[in-house]
Amino acid sequence: MPRFARVLVDDSAGKAFDYELPEAVAATLQVGSRVRVPVRTRTALATIIELLDHTDAPGVKLIAEVVSAEPVLNALLIDLGRWIADYYCCSIEAAMKSVLPQVIRKAEVGHQMRLFARLAREVDAEELETLRRKAPLQAGVIDFLAQAAAPVAVAELSDKCDATHAVVQALVKKGLLLTEPAKVERDPTQHETFVAAGKLELNEEQLAVFERVCAAIDSSTSHRSPVTSHIPKPLLLHGVTGSGKTEIYLQAIDRVLQRGQTAIMLVPEISLTPQTVERFKSRFALTQHEVAVLHSHLSEGERHDEWHRIRSGRARIVIGARSAIFAPCENVGLIVVDEEHENTYKQEETPRYHGRDIAVLRGHMEGCAVLLGSATPSLESFHNARLGKYELLRLTARIDARKMPHIRIIDLRMESQKKGAILSERLITAMRARLERREQTILFLNRRGFSTSLICQKCGHVCQCPNCSVALTFHRGAARVVCHICGHQAVVPATCPECRDPGIRWSGTGTEKVEDTVAKIFPKAVVKRMDADAMQRRDAFRETLTAFRQGKIDILVGTQMIAKGLHFPNVTLVGIVNADLSLHLPDFRAGERTFQLLTQVAGRAGRGDVEGEVFVQSFTPFSPSIQFARHHDFDGFWEQEIEFRRQWDYPPFSHLVLVLVRSQHQERARFSAETLHRRLAEALPNGVTLGEPAPAPLEKSHGSYRYHLILRTRAIQRLSRHLATVLGKLTFPEDVFVTVDVDAYQLL
């Protein structure tokens, strides 16, 4: 029997400590049990993350108290945490922090208690009459409660029947009313009502896909007995924009519920719009199934309640962003990852896990069906499908035979003669036609602000952020120059800070300038901008989308915030102001990202009865990403891109690990990177290539100098262990920070 436990102490900055198990309770404790442990002079709440036969820790103390032997997490999730630590080369504590969310570990966020009232007994007619004359407010409460099906919150009584606390107290004294405290749940969507909505009848293509999904769901024997159970292959659904993928997710989840199982659906944070959530809630309102929603804008209390609603089994459908993959569901029958190609599934802080990859892994551990869906699958997933590791399913046509939008490319090299023109004549003409027909337009530009750099015409000086190696962006609304990396702000200089010449000029275009230009060309049109600057208020996003849907906005200008997932049937024109922005980044995925972005943005057009039209403005109109997107040719793009990856041995042919070394002192950062490089090279495992240390493309950020080491291998776990060993033995100067990013996406 184990004698020790490794525990994760709440609020301890994620450090794990070893304690001895009291003999009397040792047999009852499990991984996931909650305990109280002595920490210096006090005691603290903690979660057991490992049981040990032996520990090397000095001066091990005894666990002080068992809070709950019943685990707060099932063993599978703890295994998942262990796997993450191993694969992503981070500590088990760091991994566990994601698996067991902060708010659950924190003791003080408990259930919210409120006072509820109900009738103590039946009140006869005569008694009620008397009361009506003498104390009409009290009678009102009695009437109200007699109608109510369940106890009513006292706070609500004051709203509904003007009953103050004194009125309630008087009734309690008369023995007519009982009050008692009870838990209430903070439902983030409680003030919305959902109209139950039925299933749609699937078309032929959808049916064929749905049958395959059902086969996977039905073949999973679930309830983890890995030896005997059949684990279905993950399914990759490649379905063009508007082909009815979401309808398939909904019906597949419904099937899972009928089997008595639970379902998790991941969506990118950005598409967790009220529109999506509403669609889910209305569908499952019909069968009275509860949907839990997890995303980063929930309050602590809401998150706590959603978590417990899932854990208690009340909510059997979970829809959420990346971290919802750790939802404490039991008996999972299906995990859906919508827009599986999205980079936001990758967590850009430790533990740097990828939500889609964890979904596939959890599916494997649960023995359940996994469905990845996208109009532009990632090279990684499509490669797995080609290798036969995933089963490929396809939807090639839009619903109701709607045509794919017609994409036209505009060569900006021909247009740029007209000085300062942001929008080409052809795009402007198309926009004018939409305004006349009362149809809507979306203009997309992946850059905020007004102008993107300030250049001195005389000495060539570019105004840079003092903390980062990027140019400052001019924000006209805020009358400031702003760094988009660290947020540094300054007043707009009137003369060149370098040579004092007044001839400084703005160049480059951001969304603010597009909005401004459009408003000048079409003074009568209603133009609205949707980007991180314009959407700072909590409800701004929802309000703007609602106004747009109601047709109160003619032209919507925005960043990637509007690129994905939105469904507006009256949008018949999409303009991509500059397609080159994402194409020329120093990143081997630049081509893939551009193809995905263009396809997704174009997919916003023509989702209603009128055919859509898309204008793509570019200085490099013949680049493959643009041409393949234009012809809606995913397979063509894939063939050529995978060849490039194969030649250079980039993912998906290898795993790429990025080690970032940073320090406020350039020399120390460089020196540490070189030391680390030398140590790693000393006993490099077979099949690993190690690049020379080099300054990162974004050389300076937040005041720190940054150096990169890039490693590639096919056997990632061996490399992760090698990294962990080397890093464990090295000590760096105090102000040098080293982070390891396994399967890195962010290469700047």
φ, ψ (nearest 5 deg) of residue 543 = -60, -45
Residues 6+ apart with CB under 8 A from 419: none
Of the pair 482, 742, the CB lying nearest Zn ion is at: 482
How wide is the angle at C-alpha 589 spanned by C-alphas 588 and 595, nearest 5°?
135
Partner from ligand ADP, Zn ion, none contacting 468, C-beta within 5 to 8 A by type: Zn ion
Calpha distance 138→167 (Å, rounded):
6
Min dist CB 285 to ligand ADP, Å, is 16
Stretch in the footprint of Zn ion (CB under 5 A) among 40-48, 358-366, 409-417, 477-485:
477-485
Partner from Zn ion, ligand ADP, none contacting 39, C-beta within 5 to 8 A by type: none
Region 635-674 residues binding Zn ion, contact defined as CB under 5 A = none
* Helices and strands, number each (H, E), in the chain: 22, 32
Partner from Zn ion, ligand ADP, none contacting 155, C-beta within 5 to 8 A by type: none
Single residue of 206, 220, 262, 578 touching ligand ADP by CB under 6 A: 206
Confirm or reject binding of residue 281 to ligand ADP (CB under 6 A): no
Of the pair 402, 700, the CB lying nearest Zn ion is at: 700
Handedness of CA 240, 244, 249, 252 (dihedral sign): negative
Calpha distance 710→588 (Å, rounded):
13
Confirm or reject binding of residue 239 to ligand ADP (CB under 6 A): yes
Of the pair 561, 673, the CB lying nearest ligand ADP is at: 561
Confirm or reject binding of residue 200 to ligand ADP (CB under 6 A): yes
Min dist CB 485 to Zn ion, Å, is 4
Partner from ligand ADP, Zn ion, none contacting 206, C-beta within 5 to 8 A by type: ligand ADP
φ, ψ (nearest 5 deg) of residue 574 = -125, 130
Number of residues engaging ligand ADP in binding (CB under 6 A): 15
Min dist CB 202 to ligand ADP, Å, is 5
Min dist CB 497 to ligand ADP, Å, is 49
Stretch in the footprint of Zn ion (CB under 5 A) among 303-311, 430-438, 483-491, 716-724:
483-491
Confirm or reject binding of residue 202 to ligand ADP (CB under 6 A): yes
Confirm or reject binding of residue 567 to ligand ADP (CB under 6 A): yes
The amino acid that residue 298 corresponds to is: L
Contacts for 91-95: CB closer than 8 Å, 24+ residues apart: 91/14, 91/16, 92/6, 92/16, 92/49, 92/50, 93/8, 93/14, 93/15, 93/16, 93/49, 94/14, 94/350, 94/351, 95/351
Partner from ligand ADP, Zn ion, none contacting 465, C-beta within 5 to 8 A by type: Zn ion
Min dist CB 324 to ligand ADP, Å, is 19
Region 484-523 residues binding Zn ion, contact defined as CB under 5 A = 485-486, 488
Confirm or reject binding of residue 570 to ligand ADP (CB under 6 A): no
Confirm or reject binding of residue 242 to ligand ADP (CB under 6 A): yes
Min dist CB 569 to ligand ADP, Å, is 8
- Report the first-to-last Cα separation within the chain, whole angstroms: 49
Single residue of 47, 243, 599, 672 touching ligand ADP by CB under 6 A: 243
Calpha distance 328→314 (Å, rounded):
12
Nearest of 79, 66, 109 to residue 307 by alpha carbon: 109
Q: Tell me the DSSP string of 241-266.
A: TTSSHHHHHHHHHHHHHHTT-EEEEE
Confirm or reject binding of residue 342 to ligand ADP (CB under 6 A): no
Single residue of 53, 159, 201, 734 touching ligand ADP by CB under 6 A: 201
Partner from Zn ion, ligand ADP, none contacting 558, C-beta within 5 to 8 A by type: none
Of the pair 271, 467, the CB lying nearest Zn ion is at: 467
Number of residues engaging Zn ion in binding (CB under 5 A): 7
Q: Where are the extended beta strands (E) located within 620-735?
A: 655-663, 689-690, 694-701, 704-713
Calpha distance 7→43 (Å, rounded):
13
Pairing of strands 34-39, 65-68: antiparallel
Calpha distance 432→488 (Å, rounded):
39
Partner from ligand ADP, Zn ion, none contacting 244, C-beta within 5 to 8 A by type: ligand ADP
Confirm or reject binding of residue 468 to Zn ion (CB under 5 A): yes
Whether 442 contacts 558, CB under 8 Å: yes
Q: Which tokens is 461 given?
A: 């000086």
Stretch in the footprint of ligand ADP (CB under 6 A) among 89-97, 238-246, 524-532, 684-692:
238-246
Min dist CB 321 to ligand ADP, Å, is 17
Confirm or reject binding of residue 170 to Zn ion (CB under 5 A): no
Calpha distance 395→393 (Å, rounded):
7
Q: Which tokens is 292 given?
A: 């839990």
Confirm or reject binding of residue 241 to ligand ADP (CB under 6 A): yes
Single residue of 483, 527, 610, 709 touching Zn ion by CB under 5 A: 483
Calpha distance 465→742 (Å, rounded):
29
Of the pair 78, 385, the CB lying nearest ligand ADP is at: 385
Single residue of 36, 105, 245, 484 touching ligand ADP by CB under 6 A: 245
Calpha distance 602→404 (Å, rounded):
9
Min dist CB 325 to ligand ADP, Å, is 20
φ, ψ (nearest 5 deg) of residue 698 = -90, 90
Min dist CB 322 to ligand ADP, Å, is 19
Calpha distance 68→58 (Å, rounded):
27
Of the pair 168, 209, the CB lying nearest ligand ADP is at: 209
Min dist CB 39 to ligand ADP, Å, is 50
User: Hey, how many other C-beta atoms are within 10 angstroms of the C-beta on 403?
Assistant: 11
Single residue of 178, 399, 433, 521 touching ligand ADP by CB under 6 A: 399
Full 3-state SS string of 169-235: HHHHHCCCEEEEEEEECCCCCCCCCCCCCCCCCCCHHHHHHHHHHHHHHHHCCCCCCCCCCCCCCCE
Min dist CB 490 to Zn ion, Å, is 10
Of the pair 140, 244, the CB lying nearest ligand ADP is at: 244
Calpha distance 268→343 (Å, rounded):
9
Confirm or reject binding of residue 467 to Zn ion (CB under 5 A): yes
Nearest of 325, 167, 179, 339 to residue 245 by alpha carbon: 339
Min dist CB 249 to ligand ADP, Å, is 8
Number of residues that make up the chain = 748
Single residue of 140, 188, 244, 508 touching ligand ADP by CB under 6 A: 244
Of the pair 244, 575, the CB lying nearest ligand ADP is at: 244
Whether 711 contacts 689, CB under 8 Å: yes
Calpha distance 555→85 (Å, rounded):
47
Min dist CB 637 to ligand ADP, Å, is 19
Radius of gyration of the chain (CA): 29
Partner from Zn ion, ligand ADP, none contacting 567, C-beta within 5 to 8 A by type: ligand ADP
The site for Zn ion (CB under 5 A) is made up of 465, 467-468, 483, 485-486, 488
The site for ligand ADP (CB under 6 A) is made up of 200-203, 206, 239, 241-247, 399, 567
